[in-house]
A and B are shown apart, each in its own frame.
Chain A
Amino acid sequence: MYIKDIKLRSFRNYERIQLEFDDKVNVIIGENAQGKTNLMEAIYLLAFTKSHRTPRDKELIQWDEEYAKIEGSIYKRNRRFPLEIILSKKGKKAKLNHLEQKRLSDYIGALNVVMFAPEDLNLVKGSPQVRRRFIDMEIGQIQPAYIYHLGQYQKVLKQRNHLLKDLQRHRRTDKTMLYVLTDQLIEHASTLLERRFKFLKLLRNWAGPIHESISRQLEQLEVLYDASVEVSEAMDLETISNRYQEKFSKIEDKEIDRGTTLAGPHRDDLIFHVNGKDVQTYGSQGQQRTTALSLKLAEIELIHSEVGEYPILLLDDVLSELDDFRQSHLLHTIQGKVQTFVSTTSIDGIEHHVLKEAEIFRVENGTIEIQK
């Protein structure tokens, strides 16, 4: 799939722009703070209805403006799909084919995007939250129902945490409602866990060989799941659900004592091993970067195999962060099949024939010009 054109209105530092893209490689060149990331963010938003760098939609609306609008045309299996996101102080609207989609899970998935930004180099080193977000976003975009379950899970979790606080402070004593919310939580937790396991199986198939090749056959990558309950990835939904039941009855007093939910997908983590050692603790910075890159490249292939089309790749300011070998590996992988947006302050030092055939955009203070 690819994005043919985009129209921005009062989005970040863009008052009004309209661009047509190349279906292969687009290079966005500009000094710092001119609007390169803002453009990438707009494309990301069309896919996920959320920014990759802020949870607050208000920041995306141009200062002193009432609303922001992003429109884009996606081509998928030779068909055009217009997408539109409108952000205002009152809320957000997402339109697919001109029709408003009230449910997030009915919109997400129309456009698949993989983004690789400097923050993603943190995937390995950062907090567990970063890795949970990674796994949730990636499953969500190939399996919209996952987003629904995640949303339901988060709502039950919030209710349950409130009730645990009430029990902790003796504002309530009857535990019947706690058991109800535990059952409800487990229903969604088991579904999320089962789907995460299935996704990991696919991810490993791709990430292993890719990592081996980027590391010139020197490194073996393993992706492990660190669950807050005693489960194995081979278990079916019912067994997972039983394990949660056992866990929650075991930790009941502790949960009331702490006033919060102590097990569930929101407390899990991913662990990466390179040559049998935990990269987070023992890996060099280079190994951590290679791991992050392997996972992103694996995502591209995974989406292709699950959805039947390659996603759009956004490389925001990362090419210069990678050494020559990793750079050319990356560019070689996407060559000719993945529509890619590369942002950089300077094209010097990026010597690759893929870039030579690219469409070049110059960004300066919220205006963009195509370089002929």
Chain B
Amino acid sequence: MYYPEPISKLIDSFTKLPGIGPKTAVRLAFFVLEMEEDDVLEFGKSLVNAKRELTHCSVCGQITDQDPCSICQDEARDNSLICVVQDPKDVIAMEKMKEFSGKYHVLHGAISPMDGIGPEDINVPSLLNRLKDEGVEELILATNPNIEGEATAMYISRLVKPSGIRITRLAHGLPMGGDLEYADEVTLSKAMEGRREL
């Protein structure tokens, strides 16, 4: 089927988004045509501004509209504690918890040889630099609990251990509000490994 050029361009743009296939892209494009012009303008502006006005914090790597980011600038936060995460969204999840008062370091990915991603392709070098002069006492490795996330945590741990900085890893546990009998065997055995004294 042939669409007028502006529509096919719009469809093409939508298909560049994650999780959107050709059919959904067509549906979204036609939906846009039905939207109020003001809403469309606003939408376009938000897209461009998000890209233009946001940068990566030069200290922690988080996405921010000011550099260094508000967390890095916050003097009330504990400089001796850094939580290392894979993704900018992980910082937001941690912040929602309102329990953590240290600083962050965003890796933007995990080490994965099969995808050609080595330590220097993610924010590992900047983390090592940071550890040299910032008086950090503990590093919490909060990378994802899968093969690549684990390997990345183990890699960082190998490099940092000799410096004497304390290294911890988030525990894998049972989901809260769930019944023990419904937890799968793998989750249960991980939770068992991570058990602690009461």
Contacts and interface: CB of A to CB of B under 8 A. Distances in A.
B111 A144 contact: no
Nearest to A146: B185
A152 B145 CA distance: 12
B contact face: mostly helix, strand, loop, or mixed = helix
B119 A177 contact: yes
B111 to A, nearest CB: 6
Interface stretch (B28-36, B72-80, B149-157): B149-157
Contacts of A174: 119
A176 B114 contact: no
A contact face: mostly helix, strand, loop, or mixed = helix
Contact of B151 (A106, A145, A172, A180): A180
A159 interface: yes
Contacts of B114: 158-159, 162
A180 B155 contact: yes
Given A177-B118, A184-B150, A184-B151, A159 B186 contact: no
A155 B115 CA distance: 12
Interface in A169-207: 172, 174, 176-177, 179-181, 183-184
Contact of A159 (B112, B154, B185, B189): B112
B184 interface: yes
Interface in B134-185: 147-148, 150-151, 154-155, 158-159, 184-185
A15 to B, nearest CB: 26
Report which residue of B113, B119, B159 has the largest number of chain A beta carbons within 10 angstroms of its beta carbon. B113
30 contacts: A105-B184, A105-B186, A144-B185, A145-B189, A148-B185, A148-B186, A155-B147, A156-B147, A156-B151, A159-B112, A159-B113, A159-B114, A159-B147, A159-B148, A159-B151, A162-B113, A163-B113, A166-B113, A174-B119, A176-B158, A177-B111, A177-B113, A177-B119, A180-B151, A180-B154, A180-B158, A181-B113, A181-B151, A184-B147, A184-B154
Interface of B: 111-114, 118-119, 147-148, 150-151, 154-155, 158-159, 184-186, 189
What 7 A-B pairs have minimum CB-CB distances, sorted nearest first? A162-B113, A163-B113, A162-B114, A145-B185, A180-B154, A155-B147, A180-B155
Interface of A: 103, 105-106, 144-145, 148, 152, 155-156, 158-160, 162-163, 166, 172, 174, 176-177, 179-181, 183-184
